[in-house]
Homo-oligomer: A and B are copies of this chain.
């Protein structure tokens, strides 16, 4: 069923039917109702491509996922972020399109989306420090919102980010106040902007507390369970091990806990652990008291905000850049306690 047939059945022109369905005022309320009912009855829904062609809008926002190596890690927050974003997008009638490309072809992918005009805007995930994609998107004029920020990029752009610096500063302070002097940081990949900010927060708190920064207590890698486990195991085996650890994610914190227990120690008593909790739906941090003391910020909420900002930017392109800094709450759980002397 298409517009032409529908209008023939109704004995109206395509124009009128189209207008009736799209809520234009220049159509009699009675005929509008008649048209709407017929549309429902014949199960008519306008061809999205034809509509897009005519309007120049695709009602789709894009998401390109670069794939470096074949079996690169998939970010565990992906699902929840997408759920949040999709909820907001669906609310405005937008869909979400994924394109997977080789990492070195990412620029081309955006350029194509633009000349294609297959999407009305894109979401930029996982910005690195000085992320070149931002300038690139601005150059080609593609609307976008960044999930995170990119230190070093000076031109304004829209973003939604967690206050990673403050979160990790507070977390570190929390540990120093408990008397911890040797605090390890199992950070994410430090080419990622969020990881750099977390490190800054960590270092700032250490310096405030008059503690020196020990490079041997700092690691940086993809945040897997295995990474958490391995890093913690190595640190515990080294001379003068840490008494507390900041982990980059729940997943890696789980690995940290495993290492602690394998060493015959107990988390929260012998070693304190603080992690960042993205509030993933399948990985709740305990029902009552949190398992892990954690800086928590919902990635789902971030997804919703990103989507809202993006749609706003598409609909009024001149409204300027929107930014939002989410504060993470510091939730105290069972994984932290006062530093014990000489374990």
How often does this chain occur in the complex, in copies? 2
Residues of A in contact, count (CB < 8 Å): 63
Q: Which of A24-32, A128-136, A144-152, A277-285 touches B? A: A277-285
Report yes or no: B45 in contact with A49, Cβ–Cβ below 8 A.
no
Q: How far does the alpha carbon of A283 sit from the alpha carbon of B73 in the complex, in Å?
A: 9
- Interface SS majority for chain A: mixed
Report yes or no: B74 in contact with A282, Cβ–Cβ below 8 A.
yes
Which residues of B have CB within 8 Å of A99?
86, 90, 95-96
Q: List A residues 82-126 near B (Cβ within 8 Å).
A: 82-83, 86-87, 89-90, 95-101, 111-112, 115-118
Q: How far does the alpha carbon of A190 sit from the alpha carbon of B48 in the complex, in Å?
A: 38
Contact with B along A36-77 (1 / 0, CB 8 A): 000000011111111011000010100001010011111110
Contact with B along A294-328 (1 / 0, CB 8 A): 00000010000000000000000000000000000
Is A246's beta carbon under 8 Å from chain B?
no
Least CB separation from A222: chain B residue: B282
Chain B proximity of A114: nearest CB distance (Å): 9
Question: Contacts A75-B79, A280-B74, A291-B258 given: A49-B52 contact, CB under 8 Å?
Answer: yes
